[in-house]
Structure 1
Amino acid sequence: MRDLMKDIPYNRLPLLPISQDKIETVPILRQVTKSAIALAELKGLAHTLPNPSILLNAVILKEARVSSEIENVITTHDKLYQALSARGITVDPATKEVLRYREAMLKGHRAVSKKGFLNTNIIIAIQEALEENNAGLRKLPGTSLKNAITGEVIYTPPDDKDAILALMKNLEDYINEVDEVSPLIKLAVQHYQFESIHPFYDGNGRTGRIINVLYLILHGLLDSPVLYLSDYIIKHKADYYRLLQEVRTAGQWEEWVLFMLNAVEETSRATIKQISSIKALFTKTQEKVKAADSKLYNKELLELIFEQPYSKIEFVVERLSVSRVTATKYLKGLEQIGILTAKKVWKETLYVNEELFDLLKK
């Protein structure tokens, strides 16, 4: 770490792995146990929902919105769900950018699930989806990380093309290797390394946060991207950047690894609470529909309005294989008994599951 100078490209960034005595301290190993228990509980509970897609859609959108907010790209849940559901509306640039994050996450998830590994080509494809360009890995010098307020250079990542390629190959091997070190510890290490390589001209932060969740899926700790890590990062944004820098400048691994382990535990427990709330609301909604109008009750219909909090006639027609007349009757019936709220967006009517929407925003 002593050869790091803020304004000189760090082409000698050390390769992985890291010495185990630096990342397997007593406090880290204690926290690994707590984080692993919370994550395992989340993995199991996600399958107890009426339809796992209910949680998947909600968490990916929340992760997309907050991960983008870390980079000062701001939009709202309402705009996101409208953009996904309504045709013909004008979507602002920030909302489009957040929706690209969602697509990049899903693209990465499909690739890792299909191939069983996470390599540089998949990482490049994720970044291309995020940024809508195919610039690929950096080939030109001039990239540096600066203090947003003072403009002072705080870190200059590697700029040698061959060094970047070698570092990415080393990172790829580390990500896919199974060894005696807990994958939760390695999650923190690989995230530090990726952000320090800073391999792209743009989109490094968001790409790195997508890799975090895909890494957990790759190693069997999650089945789908339902962990909302960016929430913890934005709540502790100053510490996140400070601790990354302290690993670079002083080799302070323990506090950084603990930060990431705490992020896993806290966000797992928050998502577990949300699952319980969604299940309770689903049961309450079932009972309300049965009591108000038993002819309206259709479990698949209720799953749809939980999977798509902003629903519309076309969604019902497609999911239930019914006519537009029947689909309209279903949605208007649910509106009449207070389950849905009709909302005119451009030329379409969307039916909003307001109680669920409020729950998912938390």
Structure 2
Amino acid sequence: MQRGLTGQYTSSIAGGVSCQAFIPAPLPPQPAVLLDEKLQQRLSEALVALGRLDAISTLLPSAPLFLYSYIRKEAVMSSQIEGTQSSLSDLMLYEMEGTPGVPMDDVQEVSCYVRALNLGIQRIREGHPITIRLIRELHQALMTHGRGIHRSPGEFRQNQVWIGGHRADEAAFVPPPANRIAECWADFERFINDEPTATAPVIKAALAHVQFETIHPFMDGNGRLGRLLIPLILVQAGILKEPLLYLSVFFKHHRQVYYEHLQQVRLTGDWEAWLLFFVDAIADTANKAVQTAQDLNTLLATDKVRLAELGRLSGSANQVMDALFSHPVANIGALHQQTGLTHATIGKVLDALEHQLGLVREITGQKRNRVYAYTAYIDILNRD
């Protein structure tokens, strides 16, 4: 539906240049979102896919282990959209206190995303609503290390910014002036918390994501925080028990279409076109996450059958493989803490897993402080 401009322009100054900043109208849209037959059908498909995804947390014997790695995959993908070069292996190596193959700032930013996401889920489960206080806390966690430490962690921006273009009057988009952020956020917070009327959770997540990106309240980290907001809303609403839905891969693959939809909502009010894109992102992402979880469990079962070839080492190898399924990049010290096996036994197991069965690979090339990766597991996570 073409509603026209979904807000108003106001004069502002950015970088010493006069420009027109956009102030979004409060949500929900007026007139209300039109759920025609096509959108209803695609929304139903997304909800079915979410139901299958949610079942992972109760049907899989290793849901917490899957969640550990899947959260890190999302952190990598969301940060790559912002330009970091960190990979999943880089992140896990950094968490093992190893040296990643990318600039330290890159991997620190990804690590901060993991911290912010886990903190957000913790706060939601403690009963905290999604408010300015929570969002600022998450932004502070997101920007604690790396390049973000100099970008006012936890504080709304104090100046006018613009997106795209080398000067504000030629920008792709200019968000609200700093002195209008508070009122925009107050309206946004009421919508998120169903005041005065409730909005269906999936539709709320879709609308809220666009509104957050449009308000652009922080100097940096808005994209990552806006994407993080989606699973927080769905977990808060009880649609998902665990934060297993991450749309960064889909948004990255369809980046140009994604940005075009955001801008078209602002210019034409076509929320329905954005919703079609959003629910397709949910269905595609949820179905792939379910397949990934199933493939990882199949991988572990298949690989553990092969451990019988190791004879007397097979019992210890089973314990090491279970630990690697939990943390697919690990060193001997970490495996000792997880399994209780001696360092010597773990060393023999890893040597056999690498050179006899080809299930793990040493990734540092060092003689000391060696780190091993369960490569097939990481390959499945990286598949999309």
Same fold (TM over 0.5): yes
Aligned to 2:229: 211
Counterpart AA for 2:362: A
Aligned to 1:328: 347
Whether 1:168 aligns to 2:185 is yes
Judged with a 3 Å threshold, the aligned counterparts in structure 2 of structure 1 residues 8 and 149 are, in CA distance, closer, same or farther, namely: closer
Aligned to 2:62: 51
Q: What is the CA–CA distance in structure 1 between the aligned matches of 2:135 and 2:365, rounded to whole Å?
A: 36
- Measured against aligned partners, the alpha-carbon deviations of 1:235-282 in whole angstroms (never above 9, x if no partner) come to 111111111111111111110111111110000111111111111101
Counterpart AA for 2:364: K
Whether 1:3 aligns to 2:8 is yes
78-87 or 269-278: bigger deviation? 78-87
Counterpart AA for 1:167: C
The runs of 5 or more residues in structure 2 that have no matched partner are: 12-18
Higher RCO (CA-CA < 8 Å; seq separation 6+): 1
Q: What is the CA–CA distance in structure 2 between the aligned matches of 1:157 and 1:343, rounded to whole Å?
A: 44
Any conservation in 1 of the 2:250–2:281 contact (CA below 8 Å)? Answer: yes
Counterpart AA for 2:293: I
Q: What is the CA–CA distance in structure 1 between the aligned matches of 2:132 and 2:301, rounded to whole Å?
A: 44
Matches within 5 A, 1:271-310: 271-293=289-311, 295-297=313-315, 300-310=319-329
- 2:372 is paired with a residue whose SS is strand
Counterpart AA for 1:125: E
Q: What is the CA–CA distance in structure 2 between the aligned matches of 1:137 and 1:29, rounded to whole Å?
A: 39
Any conservation in 1 of the 2:160–2:176 contact (CA below 8 Å)? Answer: no
- Measured against aligned partners, the alpha-carbon deviations of 1:15-43 in whole angstroms (never above 9, x if no partner) come to 12224632533322221110000011011
Q: What is the CA–CA distance in structure 2 between the aligned matches of 1:297 and 1:323, rounded to whole Å?
A: 13
Counterpart AA for 2:373: V
Identical residues among aligned pairs (%): 25
Aligned to 2:274: 256
64-73 or 142-151: bigger deviation? 142-151
Whether 1:360 aligns to 2:381 is yes
- Measured against aligned partners, the alpha-carbon deviations of 1:67-107 in whole angstroms (never above 9, x if no partner) come to 12222222223322222224466861222222222222222
Judged with a 3 Å threshold, the aligned counterparts in structure 2 of structure 1 residues 148 and 63 are, in CA distance, closer, same or farther, namely: farther
Q: What is the CA–CA distance in structure 1 between the aligned matches of 2:169 and 2:295, rounded to whole Å?
A: 44
What RMSD, in angstroms, separates the aligned Cα atoms of the two structures? 2.6
Any conservation in 1 of the 2:247–2:282 contact (CA below 8 Å)? Answer: yes
Which of 10, 21, 24 is equivalent to 2:32? Answer: 21
196-205 or 65-74: bigger deviation? 65-74
Matches within 5 A, 1:1-362: 1=5, 3-4=8-9, 7-11=19-23, 13-19=24-30, 21-87=32-98, 92=103, 93-132=105-144, 133=149, 134-147=152-165, 152-161=170-179, 163-177=180-194, 181-293=199-311, 295-297=313-315, 300-335=319-354, 336-344=356-364, 347-362=368-383
- Measured against aligned partners, the alpha-carbon deviations of 1:277-323 in whole angstroms (never above 9, x if no partner) come to 11110110221113543652365533211121112211222112343
Any conservation in 1 of the 2:42–2:279 contact (CA below 8 Å)? Answer: yes
- 1:126 is paired with a residue whose SS is helix
- 1:22 is paired with a residue whose SS is coil
Q: What is the CA–CA distance in structure 1 between the aligned matches of 2:49 and 2:234, rounded to whole Å?
A: 13
- 1:136 is paired with a residue whose SS is coil
Judged with a 3 Å threshold, the aligned counterparts in structure 2 of structure 1 residues 89 and 254 are, in CA distance, closer, same or farther, namely: closer
Q: What is the CA–CA distance in structure 1 between the aligned matches of 2:309 and 2:157, rounded to whole Å?
A: 64
Query: How many matched pairs?
Result: 360
Counterpart AA for 2:361: T
- Measured against aligned partners, the alpha-carbon deviations of 1:189-214 in whole angstroms (never above 9, x if no partner) come to 00011111111011111110111121
Q: What is the CA–CA distance in structure 1 between the aligned matches of 2:38 and 2:334, rounded to whole Å?
A: 50
199-208 or 128-137: bigger deviation? 128-137
Any conservation in 1 of the 2:56–2:63 contact (CA below 8 Å)? Answer: no
Shift of 1:158: 1.6
Judged with a 3 Å threshold, the aligned counterparts in structure 2 of structure 1 residues 4 and 222 are, in CA distance, closer, same or farther, namely: same
Q: What is the CA–CA distance in structure 2 between the aligned matches of 1:174 and 1:99, rounded to whole Å?
A: 30
State the TM-score, normalizing by the size of structure 2: 0.85
Q: What is the CA–CA distance in structure 2 between the aligned matches of 1:61 and 1:203, rounded to whole Å?
A: 17
